[in-house]
Amino acid sequence: MSKITKKTLVHVCMSYGWGGLEQYPLTLAKPFSTQGVEVFYWAFENTQFAKRATEQGLNLQVFSSRWDFIKQLKKIVTWVKKKQVTAIHFHKSTDLRLALLLSYLLPQVRLIFTEHMDVKRNKKSVYHRLLYGRLDNVIAISDHTRTNNLRALPVAPEKLVRLYSGIDLTRFYPSLLGDEREALRADLGLSLGTLAFALPGRITEDKRQIIFVKALELLKKKLAGKQPFKAFIVGGLTAYEGSDEPAVKKLQQLIANSTLVDEVVLTGYRSDMHQVLQAMDVVCIPSREEPFGLVVIEAMALGLPVVGSSTGALPEILGTQGEYGLLAETDNPAAFAEQFYALAINPELRKALGVAGLKRVEETFDLQKHAIELLKFYE
């Protein structure tokens, strides 16, 4: 495939959190580079986003606050013109106030916004019409979010486009095989024959780790000791690591009062998530309403069967008839326990879903293909 004419882009992510929204712009650096595109990042200082961008050696400019950005606006505009930036891409709705300012000062630069959330609150006031009216395109990350965002945002249908996110398939593939995988499982306390469940991601009320634990209690009763298992909730335990600390405490208390003290592990933040997942047998995403589900396609790329909630965008990814993964009714521990049980007693089903899920990712969620489609919005 021929390379796109050289472009210079800026991605803006002034967020203090660390999740799929913040990870996404950073994943684009590599595929954009292969297309001859130079990318710069604007972020708040002392954030996880800034830290990761620095670790990756990316072009980064930090600001202490949005007011700091505004104070430097004249210098920023001069820099954008000098660099011949063709597009500025925003990822937080709160940053659209900056987009509004830049739209008047840099009319030749395209302004793009990816709405990573499932917006339901009406944003069609005069103020929001002004904000969104200055954007060239708004990108929705799933059909589910596009439908809701069309209702909530003052954006014409032709300007609100769905573009699935993607993952780097040169990075997310089974790299731990045989003895290496068994060594990692041993480090995690997994004995031979023990089934490993994982729920990766930020610990918050909406991610429904509590439903996962309750479902595992029911699964333990159904298995009646016939199949040992352990479950790993992989995610930071502090606000700095992106989690909700009251939700963490509530989850810890639930586990302490359950029959799963020996089965459920809170790993804390793991920088080696890719390796940890490869030690697992089943991944669960019980989120109340996932706008997309980046970790879902990461697990699928590793050949893992996924059980997800039947709401949000997960049915788009996993299929509604069990094509690429299994669905369970949201907030229903018994429904999740049934799917866990089906996978626990049927290794062939686990394998078949893993193969189907990997094929789905290769066809639909390849980051390189995503980047090429995204570049069209900058022209």
Task: Report pLDDT digits (tens) over 164-198.
Answer: 999 999 888 888 778 899 999 999 999 989 999 99
- For residues 80 and 221, membership in a common domain is answered with no
- For residues 195 and 336, membership in a common domain is answered with yes
Asked if residue 379 belongs to a domain, the reply is no
Kindly state the average pLDDT of the residues 202-212.
95
- For residues 357 and 238, membership in a common domain is answered with yes
Helix-, strand-, coil-residue percentages of the chain, each rounded to 5: 45, 15, 35
Asked if residue 375 belongs to a domain, the reply is no
| pLDDT above 60: residue 350 | yes
- For residues 199 and 346, membership in a common domain is answered with yes
For the chain, percent of residues with pLDDT exceeding 90: 85
- For residues 26 and 139, membership in a common domain is answered with yes
Write down the pLDDT at residue 4: 42
- For residues 250 and 188, membership in a common domain is answered with yes
User: What's the one-letter identity of residue 320?
Assistant: T
Write down the pLDDT at residue 171: 85
- For residues 158 and 78, membership in a common domain is answered with yes
- For residues 153 and 183, membership in a common domain is answered with no
Write down the pLDDT at residue 1: 38
Instruction: Read off the pLDDT band of 349 (50, 70, 90).
Output: very high
Residue after which a domain boundary falls, among 140, 163, 186 = 163
Residue 184's domain comprises 178-364
User: What's the one-letter identity of residue 163?
Assistant: L
- For residues 338 and 216, membership in a common domain is answered with yes
Looking at per-residue pLDDT, the higher value among 60 and 7 belongs to: 60
Kindly state the average pLDDT of the residues 350-376.
96
CATH code at 244? 3.40.50.2000
| pLDDT above 50: residue 285 | yes
| pLDDT above 60: residue 329 | yes
- For residues 297 and 151, membership in a common domain is answered with no
Cα separation of 95 and 72, whole Å?
15
Instruction: Read off the pLDDT band of 5 (50, 70, 90).
Output: low
pTM: 0.86
- For residues 209 and 313, membership in a common domain is answered with yes
**Selection from 17, 70, 10, 7 nearest residue 40 by Cα:** 10
Could you report the per-residue pLDDT of 94-148, keeping only the tens digit for each?
999 999 999 999 999 999 999 998 888 999 999 999 999 999 999 999 999 999 9
Cβ atoms of 50 and 79 within 8 Å: the answer is no
Kindly state the average pLDDT of the residues 199-216.
95
- For residues 81 and 211, membership in a common domain is answered with no
Could you report the per-residue pLDDT of 45-104, keeping only the tens digit for each?
999 999 999 999 999 999 999 999 999 999 999 999 999 999 999 999 999 999 999 999
User: Residues of 188-218 as b/e, b for ≥16 C-beta within 10 angstroms?
Assistant: bebeeeebbbbbbbbbbeebbbbbbbbbbbb
Domain count within the chain: 2
Looking at per-residue pLDDT, the higher value among 18 and 292 belongs to: 292
Asked if residue 376 belongs to a domain, the reply is no
Record the tokens describing residue 122, joined without a space: 């009406």
